[in-house]
Amino acid sequence: MIISSMISSTLKLLAASLVLWAPVFTPADVGHISKDTTSLTVSNRALEIACEYTKWDCVGTPAPHVDYSYYVGIMGWLGAYSYTSDPDGVWLNPYFLGELVDPESVDTLAFAILIHETVHYLDYHLNGPFPSACATESLAWSVTLTWLDRSGNSNVASEFRNWRDWYGCNAPNEEDAASVIQ
């Protein structure tokens, strides 16, 4: 179940969903929860969607492992990916614990965020280190919003359409904006 007010308050801090963390704390260090609760079927489906929408050749690339971290929750993020901390996995907010266990009844927002972080994971594995935060966020949000719209969840997508404002990716030269974020 998703509480819309929770979404709104959380999204204000979502700007750091993609973070090149300073090596002080990472989601792996603080309140790390093991991945047992996410179905491999669900993570593979997220991978399929990410590959289909980006049109990347994902052959031979497995789905990322999915972990939950209280650090992500404390920071107010819905999810996170950091190739410097854990290139082969993605993190989700513990708020979503249990929401991706049953492939037949996944939570829409949790799955959308899993797709989003999976795009970052693929972007790194297939294309190398991100040229800028805004570049990879543009890809990830494009896929996320497209999937939400096509799956009949435009109401959820509407909460995210101004992602560029949160990330500071509205500058004419997005490379400049990204350098500020990082």
Nearer to Zn ion, 59 or 142 (CB): 142
Instruction: Answer yes or no: are the C-beta atoms of 89 and 47 closer than 8 Å.
Output: no
Place of tokens 């972990």: 67
Please give the size of the binding site for Zn ion, defined by CB under 5 A. 4
Map the footprint of Zn ion across residues 101-160, applying CB under 5 A: 137, 140
- Using the rule CB under 5 A, is 50 a contact of Zn ion? no
Q: Provide the minimum distance between the beta carbon of 105 and Zn ion in the complex, in angstroms, as a whole number.
A: 25
Contacts of 142 (CB under 8 A, 6+ apart): 53
Please list every residue from 13 through 32 that binds Zn ion, using CB under 5 A. 17-18
* Binding of Zn ion by 178 (CB under 5 A): no
Q: How far is the CB of 58 from Zn ion (least distance, A)?
A: 18
Q: What stretches of 12-155 adopt beta strand conformation (E)?
A: 32-33, 65-69, 79-80, 89-92
Residues found near Zn ion in the complex (CB under 5 A): 17-18, 137, 140
